[in-house]
C-alpha cells in the first residue's frame, strides 16, 4: 500500500530522522517545506520534499494520490503524560472548586485521587478497558499519535495491576505506540494512614516486580509533593526503577518545590512533569542533564494554578515537552490541540516551539523519537492533514476549534 500526498501548503516538522529532540532557543525553529509532497509505503514515510523536486510517478500500482492543495500536514501529537485509564468523572469536585474549595482542600477531605481510587476499585477490568479504549480512540481522532498512560488510581496491589493490564490491552489493540507507567505512589490510601513507608515498600517491592513479570511496565512515577510523598519516598521509587532497569517520569513541583527535581535528575529520570512552581535551583539541576521538563498547561488552566515558566527553561538551553495530563481530577481533557494553543497564548511559546514540544519532544519523553514525532524518512506515517489554512499558525491561534481534516496512523486513514 502506497500513498502520495501532493500540493501540501506547509509540510511541518521535517526534522532529520536522527534528531531526538529540540532544546532551548532552537525550539523556535521548526523545519517546514512550502508546497510539498509526502510519500508513504507500508506505513512508513519514504520520501518528501518540494513539489518542484517531485520525481513524478512511474509506478501507479497500489498507489493512492491525495491532493492537499491549501492544506497543511503535521506529525501527530505525542502525549507523554496521561491518566487515560480512569473509572469515572469528578464533576462534583469541579463544582466544589467553583464554589471556593481548592484542589488541595478537596484532596484533604478524602476527594481527589482517593475519590477516583474508590470508583476504580468498583469497576470491572472489562468495563475499564472498553471505556479507556473509546477515550483513546477519541484522542487519536484529535491528532494524538503516541500516548503514555499511568496507573495510580488503584492504590492497592490488585487494582494497580488491573489498571496496568488494561493499559497493556490498549497497547495490543490500538495502532499507535503506548507506554505504560507504574504510579503506585500517587496518594496514600486511608488504610495506610501513618504507614507511608510501608505503603511505598509494598508498591515497589511487591507490586512492581509482579507487574514487571507480567510485562506491564515501561516507567515508574511518584507524586512528589507536600501531603503526598516526600524525597525519601521518591528516592525509593527511583532506586526500585533502577533495580529493574526502568527509567522514571516524576510528578514534581506542581504546588511546592521540595527538591524533587534535583533528586530525579541525579537518578537519571527520563522526565520531570508539571513544574508549575519552579525555582532557580531546579533549573540549575536540569541544565545539561538528560531529563526532559514536561509542561502540562491544560492542568494549569483547569486548576487556575501557575503555568510552567518555559522562558527560563528555554534560556537555560533545555528542551520542553508538552502533554495533556488527561485525568478526571486536574485535567479532564486529552486534547493536545488545546494544549498547543494554551502554550502559545498563556505560556508565550511561539507556534514553532509549541509544535516541537508537542511532537518531537513529546516523543523523546517516551523514548519514541526513532518512531514518531516528526515527518522523517523511515518513521511511522502518523500525520494529520488540516483544513485549508494560510499557515499552520491558525491551529493554535483559532483555539477551541478542530482544524484536523484527516488523521493518518501507520499510513492508513484513522478518522
Ligand atoms: O497529574 N498531580 C497528581 N496527579 C494528577 C491528578 C490526579 C487527580 O486529581 O486525579 C495530575 O494532575
Ligand atoms: Fe499527572
Residue 236: half-sphere exposure toward Cβ, Cα within 13 Å: 22
- Give the predicted TM-score (pTM) of the model: 0.98
- pLDDT above 70 as % of the chain: 100
Query: What is the model's pLDDT at position 1?
Result: 83
- Per-residue pLDDT for 60 more than 90? no
Distance 209 CA to ligand 2 centre (A): 23
Would the CB of 273 count as within 6 Å of ligand 1? no
Q: CA neighbours within 13 Å on the CB side: how many for 105?
A: 10
For residue 253 and ligand 1, the question of a CB distance below 6 A is answered with no
Please give the distance, rounded to the nearest whole angstrom, from the Cα atom of residue 132 to the centre of ligand 2. 16
Whether the CB of 254 sits within 6 Å of ligand 1: yes
Q: Distances in Å between the alpha carbon of 60 and those of 102, 186, 325, 352?
A: 61, 54, 44, 36
Dump pLDDT digits (tens) for 218-274.
999 999 999 999 999 999 999 999 999 999 999 999 999 999 999 999 999 999 999
pLDDT (tens digit per residue) in 79-98: 999 999 999 999 999 999 99
Retrieve residue 157's grid coordinates: 496491589
Does 113 score more than 90 pLDDT? yes
- Whether domain 87-114+145-345 has CATH 3.20.20.140: yes
pLDDT in tens, 274-306: 999 999 999 999 999 999 999 999 999 999 999
Burial class of 77 by CB neighbour count within 10 A (0 to 12, 13 to 18, 19+):
buried
Give the pLDDT of residue 54: 87
The torsion angle over the Cα atoms of residues 217, 223, 228 and 231, rounded to 10 degrees, is: 100
Q: Is 116 in the pocket of ligand 1 (CB under 6 A)?
A: yes
What pLDDT does residue 196 have? 98
Ligand 1 centroid from CA 340, angstroms: 20
Mean pLDDT along residues 118-146: 98
Cell digits of residue 259:
527538591
Judge contact between 41 and 5, C-beta under 8 A. no
* Beta-carbon-side half-sphere exposure of residue 2 (alpha carbons within 13 Å): 12
The CB of 224 under 6 Å from ligand 1? The reply is no
For residue 229, give the DSSP letter. B
Residue 331 Cα to ligand 2 midpoint, Å, equals: 8
Tell me which ligand sits closest to the C-alpha of residue 181.
2
Domain residue ranges in the chain: 87-114+145-345
Question: Cell 536540569 identifies what position?
Answer: 286
In this predicted structure, the answer to whether residue 144 has a pLDDT above a threshold of 90 is yes
What pLDDT is stored for residue 96 in this prediction? 97
How far, in Å, is the centroid of ligand 1 from the Cα of 409?
29
Q: Quick one: average pLDDT of 186-215? A: 98
Sequence-distant (≥ 6) Cβ neighbours of residue 396 within 8 angstroms: 337, 340, 341, 343, 344, 345, 351, 354
Question: How far apart, in Å, are the Cα atoms of 9 and each of 50, 380, 393?
Answer: 10, 21, 12
Position 334 pLDDT exceeds 90? yes
Q: Is 248 exposed, middle or buried (0-12, 13-18, 19+ CB in 10 A)?
A: buried
In this prediction, residue 56 has a pLDDT band, given cuts at 50, 70 and 90, of confident
Q: pLDDT grade, residue 55 (50/70/90)?
A: confident
What DSSP string runs through 33-83? EEEEEEEEETTEEEEEEEGGG----S--TTEEEEE-BTEEEEEPEEE----
Amino acid at each position: 500500500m502506497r500513498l502520495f500526498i501532493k500540493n501540501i501548503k506547509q509540510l511541518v516538522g521535517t526534522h532529520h530522522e536522527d534528531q531526538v529532540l529540540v532544546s532551548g532557543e532552537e525550539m523556535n525553529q521548526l523545519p517546514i517545506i512550502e508546497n510539498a509532497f509526502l510519500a508513504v509505503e507500508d506505513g512508513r514515510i519514504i520520501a518528501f520534499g518540494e513539489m518542484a523536486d517531485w520525481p513524478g510517478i512511474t509506478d501507479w500500482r497500489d498507489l493512492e494520490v491525495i491532493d492537499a492543495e491549501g492544506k497543511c500536514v503535521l506529525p501527530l501529537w505525542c502525549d507523554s503524560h496521561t491518566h487515560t485509564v480512569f473509572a469515572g468523572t469528578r464533576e462534583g469536585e469541579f463544582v466544589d472548586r467553583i464554589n471556593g474549595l481548592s484542589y488541595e482542600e478537596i484532596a484533604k477531605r478524602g476527594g481527589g485521587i482517593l475519590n477516583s481510587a474508590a470508583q476504580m476499585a468498583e469497576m470491572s477490568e472489562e468495563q475499564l478497558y472498553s471505556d479507556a479504549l473509546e477515550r483513546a480512540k477519541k484522542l487519536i481522532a484529535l491528532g494524538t499519535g503516541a500516548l503514555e498512560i499511568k496507573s495510580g488510581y488503584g492504590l492497592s496491589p490488585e487494582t494497580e495491576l488491573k489498571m496496568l493490564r488494561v493499559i497493556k490491552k490498549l497497547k495490543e489493540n490500538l495502532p499507535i505506540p503506548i507506554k505504560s507507567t507504574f504510579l503506585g505512589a500517587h496518594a496514600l490510601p486511608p488504610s495506610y494512614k501513618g504507614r507511608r513507608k510501608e505503603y511505598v515498600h509494598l508498591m515497589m517491592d511487591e507490586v512492581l516486580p509482579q507487574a514487571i513479570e507480567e510485562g506491564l511496565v515501561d516507567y515508574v512515577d511518584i507524586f512528589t509533593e507536600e501531603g503526598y510523598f516526600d524525597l525519601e519516598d521518591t528516592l525509593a521509587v527511583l532506586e526500585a526503577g533502577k533495580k529493574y532497569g526502568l527509567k522514571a517520569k516524576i510528578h514534581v513541583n506542581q504546588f511546592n518545590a521540595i527538591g524533587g527535581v534535583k533528586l530525579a535528575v541525579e537518578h537519571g529520570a527520563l522526565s520531570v512533569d508539571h513544574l508549575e512552581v519552579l525555582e532557580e535551583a531546579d533549573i540549575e539541576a536540569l541544565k545539561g542533564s538528560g531529563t526532559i521538563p514536561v509542561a502540562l498547561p491544560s492542568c494549569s488552566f483547569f486548576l487556575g494554578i501557575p503555568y510552567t515558566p518555559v522562558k527560563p527553561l528555554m534560556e537555560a538551553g533545555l528542551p520542553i515537552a508538552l502533554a495533556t495530563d488527561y485525568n478526571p481530577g486536574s485535567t479532564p481533557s486529552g486534547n493536545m490541540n488545546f494544549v498547543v494553543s494554551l502554550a502559545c497564548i498563556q505560556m508565550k511559546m511561539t507556534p514553532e516551539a509549541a509544535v516541537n514540544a508537542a511532537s518531537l519532544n513529546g516523543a523523546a519523553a517516551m523514548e519514541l523519537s526513532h518512531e514518531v514525532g516528526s515527518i522523517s524518512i523511515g518513521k511511522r506515517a502518523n500525520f494529520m492533514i488540516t483544513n485549508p489554512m494560510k499557515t499552520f499558525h491558525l491551529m493554535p491561534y483559532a483555539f477551541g476549534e478542530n482544524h484536523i481534516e484527516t488523521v493518518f496512523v501507520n499510513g492508513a486513514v484513522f478518522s
